[in-house]
C-alpha cells in the first residue's frame, strides 16, 4: 500500500525517454498519480501534436529510491488544453508502485519570500543531484523565479524538469521545476506553483477525487512578496555603515510622515546603489527590520533611460496580485496601482531613474508605503520632494575586498 509521509524524496520519479535516457523527473502525488512538466512528456514524443486522446501516450518511469530500478508503465491522464499557458501534466501509473514509494505532501502557497528550498534532479547520465534553491518571487501568474544558492555548484540541468520543489522547513512540495527564457534568450530556473496547477486542474476535474485525492493541503502562512528584487552580485562587499544609515532613514521616515514617504539614493553610475539596496532587503542584518516595517513586501521596478512606463506599471500591478488587470493608458494604470497600494504596506524601489517625468507615475501608495529611488541625477530628488542620501565611493579596504571577491568568482 502506498502511504503519505514527511519524506518527499520517496515520491520522486525519473521520467525515461524511449531510448532509456533521462527525460526529466516527477513526483507521486497520489496512489497512482505522478506530476511532472508538460514539456518533459512532449520531448518524448517530439514529432507529435498531441491531438489524440492523452491516455494513448505511454511513459516509462522509475522511482528514485527504488533499489530494484524497476521500470514502471504509465500513461498521460491529464494534459492541460493548449490555450492554458502552464507547464504541467499528470500521469497515471499502470503498474503498482514499489513498496518504498510514498505520496509526497503538498503545501499550497501563492508567494514565497527568500524561503530555503531544495530539489533533486538527474544529470544526463541519470545520476541524482540535490541542489539548494531560493524562491525569488513570481514572474508570471503560474511561475516563481528560483535562484541557486551559493553553497552548491550544481546548475539546474535538463533532467531537473518536472522534479518537485521542496520547502526545507515543512518538507512539503510547493511546485515543480521548469524553465523560462528571458529577454536575452537565456534559460533561467522557475517553478510552476502548486497553487496555479490546482487552479487549472479544478477547471476540468474535482480536486476531491482523481489525482489529488490523498493530498494534504495547507493554507499560506504569509503573503509577503519580493517582486523582481535582484540578488546582489556574488562579489558584493558589505558596507555596514551605509546600510545602517539607510535603514535608519527608512524607518524614521516611515514613522514621521502621514503620506507616501519618498527617499532617493544618489551616486555615480556603477558605484553600487542597486546592489546595496538589494543586499539591504535580502541578505543584510537589517533585512528583518525592513520586512517587519513593510509587512506586504517589496516591489522593484527598474526604469533606465527609456522606460516603457505603462508596461512597468502593469507589471507592478501584477506584483501586488492582480494578473487580470488591463488598461490602455499610463494614467489609468498608475491610478489603479495607487488604489491597490492605499491600504498596503510595501517598500517600492524605483531603480535607475534618469528623469523626474519617468518617476512620477510610480510615486503611489498610502501612508504605510515608502518609495526609494536610486539615481545618478540628484536634481530628481528636488523635483519630487525626496529626502536625498549621497552614496560615496568605497573605502580603500572595501575596494581591495571587492577586487579580491571579483577575481575569486571570475
Residue 219 lies in a domain: no
Claim to verify: residue 76 and residue 40 sit in the same structural domain:
yes
CATH number at residue 345: 3.40.50.300
Band (pLDDT 50/70/90 cuts) for residue 207 is: very low
Claim to verify: residue 187 and residue 287 sit in the same structural domain:
no
Claim to verify: residue 332 and residue 242 sit in the same structural domain:
yes
The grid coordinates of residue 260 equal 507616501
Claim to verify: residue 289 and residue 153 sit in the same structural domain:
no
- Alpha-carbon distance 357 to 265, whole Å? 17
Q: What is the pLDDT of residue 36?
A: 95
CB proximity list for 65: less than 8 A, separation 6 or greater: 9, 10, 12, 100
* Domain endpoint, select from 149, 178, 212: 212
* Domain endpoint, select from 43, 78, 104: 104
Claim to verify: residue 200 and residue 267 sit in the same structural domain:
no
Claim to verify: residue 76 and residue 156 sit in the same structural domain:
no
- Three-class SS state of 76: strand
The answer to whether 171 and 6 are in contact (CB under 8 A) is yes
Residue 356 lies in a domain: yes
The answer to whether 211 and 30 are in contact (CB under 8 A) is yes
- The DSSP annotation for 93-136 comes to ESSPPPTT-EEEPB---S--SS-EEEEEEE-TT--EEEEEEEEE
- Alpha-carbon distance 277 to 271, whole Å? 12
Residue 141 lies in a domain: yes
Q: What is the pLDDT of residue 48?
A: 67
Q: What is the pLDDT of residue 191?
A: 87
Claim to verify: residue 342 and residue 251 sit in the same structural domain:
yes
Residue 75 lies in a domain: yes
The answer to whether 364 and 384 are in contact (CB under 8 A) is no
Which of the 8 DSSP states describes residue 66? -
Claim to verify: residue 392 and residue 253 sit in the same structural domain:
yes
- Alpha-carbon distance 25 to 135, whole Å? 20
Range of the domain at 50: 3-104
Whether residue 145 is predicted with pLDDT greater than 90 in this model: the reply is no
Residue 406 lies in a domain: no
Q: What is the pLDDT of residue 410?
A: 57
Task: Name the percent of the chain lying above pLDDT 70.
Answer: 79
CATH number at residue 130: 2.40.10.10
* Domain endpoint, select from 43, 75, 104: 104
Please identify which residue in the block is written with the cell numbers 542584518: 285
Residue 218 lies in a domain: no
Claim to verify: residue 100 and residue 120 sit in the same structural domain:
no
pLDDT tens per residue across span 4-30 = 555 678 889 999 999 988 999 999 988
Whether residue 57 is predicted with pLDDT greater than 50 in this model: the reply is yes
Residue 137 lies in a domain: yes
Q: What is the pLDDT of residue 359?
A: 97
The answer to whether 354 and 377 are in contact (CB under 8 A) is yes
Whether residue 289 is predicted with pLDDT greater than 90 in this model: the reply is no
Task: Name the percent of the chain lying above pLDDT 90.
Answer: 31
The answer to whether 47 and 202 are in contact (CB under 8 A) is no
Average pLDDT for 34-42: 92
Average pLDDT for 369-385: 94
- The DSSP annotation for 163-202 comes to PEEEETTTTEEEEEEEEEE-TTS-EEEEEEEHHHHHHHHH
Residue 109 lies in a domain: no
pLDDT tens per residue across span 99-116 = 888 888 887 765 555 567
Domains in the chain, number: 3
Claim to verify: residue 204 and residue 234 sit in the same structural domain:
no
Residue 133 has phi, psi (to 5 degrees) of -130, 160
Claim to verify: residue 162 and residue 248 sit in the same structural domain:
no
Residue 5 has phi, psi (to 5 degrees) of -145, -175
Q: Give the DSSP H or E segment for 400.
A: helix 396-409
Q: What is the pLDDT of residue 151?
A: 43
From its phi and psi, is residue 57 left (phi > 0), alpha (psi between -120 and 50) or beta? Answer: beta
Q: Give the DSSP H or E segment for 59.
A: strand 58-63
pTM: 0.57
The answer to whether 211 and 91 are in contact (CB under 8 A) is no
- What is the b/e burial string over 162-192, where b = at least 16 CB atoms within 10 angstroms of the residue's CB? bbbbbbeebbbbbbbbbbeeeeeeeeebbbb
Q: What is the pLDDT of residue 295?
A: 87
Claim to verify: residue 45 and residue 82 sit in the same structural domain:
yes
Q: What is the pLDDT of residue 129?
A: 81
The answer to whether 193 and 108 are in contact (CB under 8 A) is no
Average pLDDT for 309-337: 89
Amino acid at each position: 500500500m502506498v502511504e503519505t509521509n514527511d519524506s518527499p524524496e520517496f515520491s520522486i520519479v525519473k521520467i525515461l525517454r524511449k531510448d532509456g535516457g533521462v527525460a526529466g523527473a516527477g513526483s507521486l502525488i497520489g496512489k497512482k498519480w505522478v506530476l511532472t512538466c508538460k514539456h518533459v512528456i512532449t520531448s518524448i514524443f517530439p514529432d507529435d501534436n498531441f491531438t489524440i486522446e492523452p491516455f494513448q501516450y505511454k511513459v516509462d518511469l522509475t522511482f528514485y529510491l527504488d533499489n530494484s530500478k524497476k521500470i514502471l508503465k504509465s500513461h498521460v491522464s491529464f494534459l492541460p488544453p493548449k490555450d492554458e499557458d502552464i507547464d504541467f501534466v499528470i500521469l497515471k501509473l499502470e503498474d503498482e508502485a514499489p513498496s518504498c514509494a510514498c505520496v509526497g505532501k503538498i503545501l499550497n502557497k501563492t508567494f514565497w519570500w527568500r524561503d530555503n528550498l531544495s530539489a533533486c534532479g538527474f544529470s544526463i547520465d541519470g545520476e541524482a543531484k540535490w541542489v539548494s534553491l531560493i524562491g525569488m518571487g513570481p514572474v508570471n501568474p503560474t511561475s516563481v523565479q528560483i535562484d541557486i544558492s551559493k553553497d552548491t555548484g550544481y546548475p539546474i540541468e535538463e533532467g531537473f524538469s518536472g522534479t518537485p520543489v521542496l520547502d526545507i522547513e515543512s518538507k512539503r512540495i510547493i511546485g515543480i521545476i521548469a524553465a523560462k527564457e528571458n529577454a536575452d534568450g537565456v534559460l533561467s530556473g522557475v517553478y510552476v506553483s502548486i497553487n496555479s496547477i490546482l487552479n487549472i486542474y479544478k477547471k476540468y476535474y474535482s480536486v476531491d477525487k482523481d489525482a489529488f485525492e490523498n493530498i494534504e493541503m495547507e493554507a499560506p502562512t504569509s503573503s509577503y512578496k519580493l517582486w523582481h528584487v535582484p540578488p546582489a552580485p556574488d562579489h558584493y562587499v558589505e558596507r555596514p555603515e551605509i546600510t545602517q544609515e539607510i535603514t535608519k532613514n527608512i524607518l524614521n521616515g516611515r514613522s514621521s510622515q502621514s503620506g507616501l514617504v519618498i527617499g532617493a539614493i544618489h551616486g555615480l553610475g556603477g558605484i553600487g546603489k542597486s546592489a546595496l539596496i538589494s543586499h539591504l532587503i535580502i541578505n543584510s542584518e537589517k533585512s528583518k527590520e525592513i520586512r517587519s516595517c513593510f509587512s506586504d513586501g517589496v516591489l522593484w521596478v527598474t526604469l533606465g533611460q527609456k522606460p516603457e512606463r505603462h508596461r512597468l506599471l502593469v507589471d507592478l500591478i501584477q506584483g501586488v496580485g492582480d494578473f487580470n488587470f488591463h488598461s490602455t493608458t499610463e494614467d489609468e494604470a498608475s491610478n489603479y496601482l495607487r488604489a491597490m497600494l492605499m491600504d498596503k504596506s510595501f517598500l517600492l524601489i524605483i531603480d535607475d531613474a534618469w528623469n523626474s517625468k519617468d518617476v512620477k507615475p510610480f510615486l503611489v501608495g498610502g501612508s504605510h508605503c515608502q518609495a526609494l529611488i536610486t539615481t545618478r541625477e540628484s536634481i530628481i530628488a528636488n523635483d519630487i520632494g525626496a529626502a536625498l542620501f549621497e552614496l560615496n565611493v568605497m573605502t580603500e579596504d572595501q575596494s581591495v575586498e571587492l577586487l579580491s571577491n571579483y577575481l575569486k568568482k571570475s
